[in-house]
Amino acid sequence: MTRRSALRKVTVGGPAPLLGGLAPLVALVACTAPTPRDDSALLEHMPRSILVLPPLDQSLEPAACYGTLAAISRPLAERGFYVFPVAVVDMMMRDNGLPTPLEMHAVPMHKLVEVFDPDAVLYLTVHNWGSSFQVVSSTTTVTLEARLVDAETGLDLWHSTRTASRSSGSGGGSLIGLLVDAVATQVGSAMYDPSPELAREAAWGLFADSDDGLLLGPLHPEHAPTVR
């Protein structure tokens, strides 16, 4: 065998192990493809009226619960649903011996139907609310989670989580500028909390996001089974 034919033989046989090594990687990429959303339950049990319960607060910030509750009604109504007045619902439940959101969330569905007769109930959780400060920067974050449950069957119709955040500026890139900006932001946050504004932003994104937002409801002029 000549030297050239020997090289040809090695070259022809060379790529096979490389391709074999790529196969598991291709399979891994294929396995991690995002799962398409399933709106079949929501389409089958599309509600007209939604009862919104005051949210559970995992952030432990006093303003988080009612700051979130105040941000929910308008974007939800503009998706095409009747929303029970959240302040009236909260007052009625407190007057009937349920002073905390945790107790309100524990009420059996049939009792909520007996009192309010909604088509669905929206359960909210606040995971983040407020500002965190580092040496030269600060970030205000609000994270909301929503779960819509059919009042008749107890089925989960829709579930999503949304985060809105705002960070302090760059301060021109210098260390002194960063420190000045961080101090100004911290002082400003003591006088003005941007969290309620971010809660409104998170609520709009939660319901209207094109990927995992809530489908348009029966009261929306563009409502259709396949329109979000």
Distance CA 41, CA 29 (A): 29
Give the tokens for residue 3: 């030297």
pTM: 0.75
Containing 100, the helix (H) or strand (E) segment is none
Is residue 108 a contact partner of residue 162, using CB atoms and an 8 Å limit? Answer: no
From first to last of its 228 residues, the chain has per-residue pLDDT tens of 544 444 444 444 555 554 555 555 455 545 555 667 889 999 999 999 999 999 999 998 999 999 999 999 999 999 999 999 999 999 999 999 999 999 999 999 999 999 999 999 999 999 999 877 655 567 889 999 999 999 999 999 999 999 999 886 544 555 555 555 655 555 554 556 889 999 999 999 999 998 899 999 999 999 876 544
User: 202 in helix, strand or coil?
Assistant: helix
Distance CA 73, CA 90 (A): 13
Distance CA 60, CA 57 (A): 6
Domain 40-208 bears CATH identifier 3.40.50.10610? yes
User: 12 in helix, strand or coil?
Assistant: helix
**Residue holding tokens 């002029």?**
221
Instruction: Return the DSSP state at 118.
Output: -
Distance CA 77, CA 102 (A): 24
